[in-house]
Amino acid sequence: MPSKSLWSSLRVPAAVQAIAWNLIVSEAQQEEKDPMRFPKHPPSTAFELVEAFPGTRFSNPVALAHLPGQTDALFVVEKVGRIRTLTLGESPERSTFLDITDRVRSGGERGLLGLAFHPNFKANGFLYVFYTAKGNGAPNRLARFQVDPNHPGVAMPQSEVILINQADDAGNHNGGDLHFGPDGYLYVALGDEGAANDTLRNSQRIDKDFFAGILRIDVDKRSGSLPPNPHPAASTHYAIPPDNPFVGIQSFTGKPVHHSKVRTEFWAVGLRNPWRMGFDPVTGLLYAGDVGQGRWEEVNIIVKGGNYGWNFREGTGPGPNHSKTPEGFESIAPVLQYGRGLGPEQGKSITGGLVYRGQNFSQLYGAYIFADYISGNIWAMRHDGNEKTAWWNLARKTGISAMGIDPRQGDILLANHSSGRLLRLVQDGQEPDKPLPATLADTGAFQDLHTLTPNQGIEPYEINTPFWSDHAIKQRWFYLPDQADRIQFRANDSWLFPQGMIWIKHFGLELVRGDPASTRRLETRFLVRHEDGIYGLTYRWDNAQENAYLVDEAGMEETFAIQENGQTIEQVWRYPSRSECLACHNKPSGMALGFHTAQLNRLVKKDGQARSQLLRMQEAGYFQKPIEAPHGLPAMAALDDSTVSLTRRVKSYLASNCAACHRPDGEALGRWDARYATPVLESGLIDGHLMRDQGDPLQKLVRPGNLEGSVLYQRITTKGTRRMPPVGSHVLDPRGVELMGRWIVESLPLKSYKRWSREALGDENIQENRPSWDKDGDGWSNLAEFYMGTDPTWKLDRWRLQLDTNSHKLRLPEVRHPDLSWNIETTPTLHPETDWQILPISQAGQGSHGYAGMRELSWDNGVAKKAFFRLVITLPNPAQDPLLP
């Protein structure tokens, strides 16, 4: 195949190139000369169930759990009233962790049903259980126990503290699953009390008892949390998170309710019998399987304040009380529902599952795995946030009552209620349907492995801000097999790539720091674009450095002795699993992380001539349409580029290392925006809210002037499980740490204009650095940028007013400077005599996308359907501002 760089050297216009290319290389010739030998789709295999721990049995297991941050034990909940510990190792051993059979009423759907360990279990030894208690009313009981301080492998039955003790008039539909969320609160699943058709009328009540929903409670009674409303079942041993959705509510389903009688513990309502729920550890989404009455079994994503319809609805159909559905009633539809039967897409009693985030099965990574107790179907599902996009069978086994993970590697474990066995989901051992090249030589990427000379059509590229890869030295290439399938260029968003596109990245490591001659070849990675996403492979170089061999799907680790500053240190290198590739190269990020405008907009040298890399790509015919002039396009900065501001370098660093997950549609739990084009004040960085503040409300994502209170800084300077980024790097980045620390301490604290100007702009005698000038051309003067807290040298970092027509909201950044004042004004018409009206602004608790630092305004009241808005900013009088020179 002719090299595409040929067209660059000839300087042929892009439209002519495409014609010439199609004339020279027919589709048949291209297929014949395609150097790459990768399948168009990732290999897929079948699955089966095997006994996870042969010879080990449990009595009616109904839940599986493990300790936070520990991988050496699994805990199995037996319905009769025992929790068993199973040590994990070559010879697993079973022991009793807690025995409360003396107080548990077991039988049918009753018994010990749920277990959750406190996130800070290592320090406090607290665990929480849900069970049906003996005695009057056979109450559903939520209780806390504590481990024996003298015998930490055993919990003390006498340490019980009862949190909720709800009398139950029926024996079924008890729910009972427990999980701590990423916010540190305890979530509790409750059934509708029992009987059939919700005859006890609990499902659409929030001012009665504790049934038919999901609770969210604060077991730590944090500062700011509220006491629960009085109720015979409640206690003083927990509190209500102040942002729970029904706090202060005065009406529900169109009927008035008294706020003092509302069960403010509720997080979501309208569920019949949520049997097993769980949080996705990456996205934080809460999934629940809801057992149906007679028509539909449901998979629901549980959201704040959600009403899932029961008993007005069953799934998307009418429920037993449908005739009494209030006018205007809206419920949240399941992301998946299936009918009742024994077929491959049927069942009679759903068992909710988990989202797979393990290392061994990349084809399941990010999929929700669940089962049906009666039909035995075990399924995987993907969704787009509203409904399923894929749903397929994995295996079949009746009696599956719960799922969990093997904490050592994330394997899926399933509990069989009747046999007492724990099962493991594994590949069935057959060869994959699409074999992969076994060696780097087999891939067809390089015509000379010794010099890493790529085959024709495979082009090198360079980026502005590389991802930190533990001191590795990297080279990059890309390949587009069909010239007719071009890249859709976008200035500020991820590019759109055709199927079959391939990216190659090669890693080398200096065994003597600073000595290029000591570089050892480690691995060469490939990313292959296909119609549903992307798949990744890595090839590890052999000791002879002659060829590289395909690494197993689960990845591997290797330790190297490194000479640094006259000392020998050991560095562990992680060859990523194929699931780890998908963790970062995900759809929201655009899949090819460094292959976008801001990273590629740079000069590159070729044949001794430095030219724009983007223009070279355009001239070679890679883009669908001509692009803008590169000087007007965003360009990320190198960390050591002292000619640009600290802010721009920090944003470049975060965009490269964090933006794959930390973005509005990203999969990370922390809701902040690391994308390069997002202004700092909109990103949620400064004083950003945390999912968990570890009991310290002064802890922020970034706290100006305070490194100890800036969790982002702490996460990039910490080794171990709390390290960020969580994959792709295990060694601290000294330049990134130094850069982030300087930015927090030097750039962010408020200061006088004179000092700010000297640091941000330089010589005040230069005309473009004067207060009235607009150095970066973003429409705001240097003085205005001082007050607004933006970078006066970087056009992308600016204040802006955002209009969201879908939600009828205006959003704008919070004001950091105490002396800046502003208003938003509106008018239905626009002419010279327009009478602009000031609109009130409300503080948004979570802000845009849950970010801190944003205010938002709804214009539903008093604003015409068609209206104009403007932002009016009033700067202080310079003569009265002591911060001005």
Can you say whether residue 621 is alpha, beta or left, with left for phi > 0 and alpha for psi between -120 and 50 degrees? left
| Helices marked H in 473-612 | 578-584, 597-600
* 737 CB burial (10 A radius; 0-12, 13-18, 19+): middle
Q: How confident is the model at residue 853 (pLDDT cuts 50, 70, 90)?
A: low
What average pLDDT does the segment 261-270 reach? 97
What is the reported pLDDT for 142? Answer: 98
pTM exceeds 0.75, yes or no: yes
Which tokens belong to 179? 């999980």
**Is pLDDT at 8 greater than 50 in this prediction?**
no
Question: Long-range contact list for 599-607, CB < 8 A, 24+ apart?
Answer: 599/463, 599/464, 599/465, 599/636, 599/656, 600/461, 600/462, 600/463, 600/464, 601/464, 601/630, 601/633, 601/634, 601/635, 601/636, 602/462, 602/463, 602/464, 602/635, 604/461, 604/462, 606/5
Question: How does the average pLDDT of the chain come out, rounded?
Answer: 89
Q: Which residues lie below 8 Å from residue 80, measured CB to CB, with a gap of 6+?
A: 59, 60, 101, 104, 106, 111, 112
Of the ranges 192-201, 516-525, 826-835, which one carries the lowest mean pLDDT score? 826-835
pLDDT at 4: 34
Summarize pLDDT for 118-130 with one digit per residue, the tens: 999 999 999 999 9
The Cα–Cα gap between 685 and 679 comes to: 10
User: What's the pLDDT at 820?
Assistant: 82
Mean pLDDT for the stretch of residues 568-596? 90
- CA 180 to chain CA centroid, nearest Å: 17
Give tens-digit pLDDT for 302-358: 999 999 999 999 999 999 999 999 998 999 999 999 999 999 999 999 999 999 999
Do residues 774 and 799 lie in contact, with contact meaning Cβ atoms separated by under 8 Å? no
Q: Are 144 and 156 in contact (CB under 8 A)?
A: no
Quick one: tokens of 456?
Answer: 């024709």
Q: Between residues 12 and 190, which one has the greater pLDDT?
A: 190
Q: Please check the confidence at residue 270 and state whether its pLDDT lies above 80.
A: yes
Region 471-480: what's the mean pLDDT? 96
Share of the chain above pLDDT 90, in %: 69
* Confidence (pLDDT) at 847: 45
Q: In this structure, are residues 575 and 556 in contact, taking their beta carbons and an 8 Å threshold? A: yes
Percent of the chain with pLDDT over 70: 92
Per-residue model confidence as pLDDT tens digits over 369-404: 999 999 999 999 999 888 999 999 999 999 999 999
Lowest mean pLDDT among 248-252, 431-435, 701-705: 431-435
CA 408 from centre of chain? 21
The mean per-residue pLDDT over the stretch 541-561 comes to 96
pLDDT (tens digit per residue) in 696-751: 778 889 999 999 999 999 999 988 777 788 777 888 999 999 999 999 999 999 88
Instruction: Over range 226-233, report the average pLDDT.
Output: 97
Give the per-residue pLDDT at 863: 63
Paired strand residues for 218 = 239
Q: What is the pLDDT of residue 668?
A: 81
Position 30 pLDDT exceeds 70: no
pLDDT digits (tens, 9 = 90+) for 781-793: 999 999 889 999 9
> CB–CB of 288/214 below 8 Å?
yes
* Chain length of the chain: 885
| Residues 584-610: tens digit of each pLDDT | 888 888 889 899 999 999 999 988 899
